[in-house]
Structure 1
């Protein structure tokens, strides 16, 4: 599988009164932060909850109907887990959730869309 960057963006240039304004919409949220449990990890349920709350389907900006992950995340940089995001219309999308920062009791992670 290939990774496709989750932080995709398109730019729109508007001209107002001689000034060019570049609008770059955020197509999908790309990060979450969770507190580490006593086991030194973020639980599967917490990862699924954060993805459901913070991930938006590209171009549509809709929250997923459901999220299912293969497991949780360990509090170490580059640890990852594959998740399946299901939209309201039933379309499924595979994403990789990867730890970007582990600092004390806090773990930050972001998302990348997986391409078959």
Structure 2
């Protein structure tokens, strides 16, 4: 069975995409929480077939400009920094980027 490194572990959405859409065994973490990222890396095989990059989401609070900046940081930093980190594993296959976050206040 293929292995998928999945972000979006805060609510389990990355795991669901890995299983339902990719047919892979997920190893998930919440990339929005840096403390939660390294622990599951021990479960990874030497290579990872698919990265389900589903990190990010809606961040509320503050004025609209602050919300946009917080969302940009949560989505972009997680989407770019995580796949290039050692904790993501040695990805040899595809990257599936998913963004299902809602706009703040909606």
TM-score by length of 2: 0.27
More strand by share: 1
- Higher share of residues assigned helix: 2
Task: For CA contacts below 8 A with separation 6 or more, give which structure has more relative contact order.
Answer: 2
